[in-house]
Amino acid sequence: MINIRTIAFSLVFLFSFQAFSVNNFNLIPVEVAKGIYVFFGDNNSLNSKNGGAISNTGFIVGEESILVIDAGPNYLYASKVIDIIKSFSSLPIKYLVVTHHHPDHSFGISKFVEIKAEIIIAQTEVGRYLKYGNRLLRQMKTLIGEEWFMGTNIVSFKSKKFNYPLSINLGARNIVIDLYTEGHSEGDLVVKDEDSNIIFVGDLVFNGRAPTIPHANISNWDNYLSYFYNNDWHYLVPGHGKLVMKKEEILPTKIWINLIDKVANNAANNGISPAEIFNEGIPTSIKDYKLAKETWIRDLPLLIDKYEYQ
């Protein structure tokens, strides 16, 4: 059960997003277990009020060092996260795990490079970050405002080729990082704190909103979701949305990705255009998902194109 401190943080958090202002993310670390904290993102689309801070960031404190999960959408966000962590502990921030390359998770990397944290990210995702980063950064600036991206740069950094699963000891706290290939992205990293059995699953799970699929292998992703559903854990920390406390909360992600996959495959095989599908409206089984319309209209054509050219 989450402690009283967490409940207090959560109540403040719920009322904080209306107060977003330029360069102020109103970051509130919620302690979900002893030494494990989560900054919950605004579970909405990227916009000029949230500054791109739509995904969850976490940090785990051991007796000797600290590990951070995801760098956030820009340099300013990463800087504020680091400042808050330093207010909690004088221990070094030794590691940054980037679950995948999408901008809301990775564009704060340069700040962690500055503080000499070791960057742990799948090799495929390093390549995508470097190849597409500057183009995506320009798009982000246009979409939500350049003021949010002061100091944000796509940077080269030392990236070791790790063998997964990778075990890291933070000092009386063992962390296991595993690689899930060709799922939501080409290389999703999942972080497990062994003592608490809390798992940061990144964008393999979306809680409370429609999942995005621009680089997804639906079949593998579905298998990974089944794995989490069929195994035991205390909490899952999703890439977006509140803590996953019950296995049933995994199912909406599973339902969405399988439905959009089925519709896209049928369209590609039978020459059906996205416009024809959109004319029928959002399928009833998913229409109540948060951001359903925006995500369906954006992602379905991408998936149809992918299947037409396979």
Provide the pLDDT for residue 26: 87
pLDDT in tens, 189-245: 999 999 999 999 999 999 999 999 988 999 999 999 999 999 999 999 999 999 999
Provide the pLDDT for residue 7: 44
Provide the pLDDT for residue 17: 36
pLDDT in tens, 175-186: 999 999 999 999
Provide the pLDDT for residue 2: 54
Domain layout of the chain by residue ranges = 4-247
The pTM of the full predicted model, rounded to 2 decimals, is: 0.92
Which three-class secondary structure string do you get for the chain?
CCCHHHHHHHHHHHCCHHHCECCECCCCEEEEECCEEEECCCCCCCCCCCCCCCCCEEEEECCCCEEEECCCCCHHHHHHHHHHHHHHCCCCEEEEECCCCCHHHHCCHHHHHHCCCEEECCHHHHHHHHHHHHHHHHHHHHHHCHHHHCCCCCCCCCCCCCCCCEEEECCCCEEEEEEEECCCCCEEEEEEECCCCEEEEEEEEECCCCCCCCCCCHHHHHHHHHHHHHCCCCEEEEEECCCECCHHHHHHHHHHHHHHHHHHHHHHHHCCCHHHHHHCCCCCCCCCCCCHHHHHHHHHHHHHHHHHCC
Provide the pLDDT for residue 218: 97
Per-position pLDDT tens, the chain of length 310: 555 444 444 443 333 333 334 457 989 999 999 999 999 999 999 999 999 999 999 999 999 999 999 999 999 999 999 999 999 999 999 999 999 999 999 999 999 999 999 999 999 999 999 999 999 999 999 999 999 999 999 999 988 899 999 999 999 999 999 999 999 999 999 999 999 999 999 999 999 999 999 889 999 999 999 999 999 999 999 999 999 999 999 999 999 999 999 999 999 999 999 999 999 999 999 999 999 999 999 999 999 999 998 7
Provide the pLDDT for residue 309: 86
Provide the pLDDT for residue 158: 87
Which CATH code is given to the segment(s) 4-247?
A: 3.60.15.10
